[in-house]
Amino acid sequence: MFTLSKTTAAGKELRTCVVDTLVELMDENNQLVALDADLGSASGWTAIANKHPQRFINMGIAEANMVGVAAGLSLTGYTPFIHTFGPFATRRVFDQLFISGGYGGNTINIYGSDPGFAVGHNGGTHTTWEDVALMRMIPQSIVCDAADEVQMAWIIKTFSQLSGVHYVRGNRKAVPTIYEKGSTFELGKGNVLRPGDELLLIASGQLVSETLQVAEEFAEIGISCEVIDMFTIKPIDKELIIREVQGKRQVITIENHSITGGLGSAVAEVLAETGSAVPLKRIGVNERFGQVGTPDFLQKEYGLDAASIKQQIVEGKVRG
């Protein structure tokens, strides 16, 4: 069960949350191992190396090899967690994840950091608008987009108990708080954060906060919006979508990702397959590469800040 936070102030940095959670799990389970692709300082995973040096491996800038080693560790009974920036954790190593991980029946837990506009000054080569689309293509994979530190910690702990290929994306830095500490969730189940009668807003990850803000601003002018945090994009909560779309005049998906292959596509598939005749608008990035800039600048540049999201809904247009 989850409880909404009484504050929207930024919480613990997500990288610190991941590290603290993994250290806690590794204290309890000597079969957990952590691998990082030469980003120990950026990810904070040097803290894991200091606490559990025998179960931490810095693989260097060799991400494909990192996936192969993780698969090998899985074969010998270990539960590996790997980290690098989102595009290098997915796009650069997709064949290894698909074959050595999915096809090989191995367990690989992946934290892809700084997705979308969170990439900041690392720029276009480090930008991932396509990681969710790629990871959805691996049979039996689980794909999550963490909204805040509470949800991120729960996802990491839950992944540690499962077999298979699992991917969670999230900023390295602090993000607005959505949930109270102690909240629990269910993989494959979305969370209704705000009831509403007219528009159904389905968001994931860091943009859950902006979506709640947009819903509040619409409420002030008499437009009732329901907000769902669809933190598990695969498997997506079909039952919830089918139920909550009833009576709505429009569905809007909001994601820090390409509108192709991500949350918007997953929702579109559900609506099409069930014959739902409710119009759908996908808000995300459309046919663009990444660029250099601060996260705040990039969020506005791609139309993913609250003001731009609201404008796109009002005007019926999708920027990006």
Q: In the block, which residue shows the tokens 């437009």?
A: 223
C-alpha span between 288 and 143 (Å, rounded): 23
DSSP-assigned beta bridge partners for residue 166? 109, 142
Burial of 170 (0-12, 13-18, 19+ CB in 10 A): buried
Structure tokens at 209: 């906060």
Does residue 63 carry a catalytic annotation? yes
Selecting among 13, 24, 63, 217, the annotated active-site residue is 63
C-alpha span between 142 and 164 (Å, rounded): 8
C-alpha span between 263 and 131 (Å, rounded): 11
Taking the CA atoms of the chain, what radius of gyration do you get in angstroms? 19
Torsion angles phi and psi, residue 218, rounded to 5 = -65, -40
Structure tokens at 28: 């309890």
DSSP-assigned beta bridge partners for residue 226? 200
Hey, which residues are catalytic here? Answer: 63
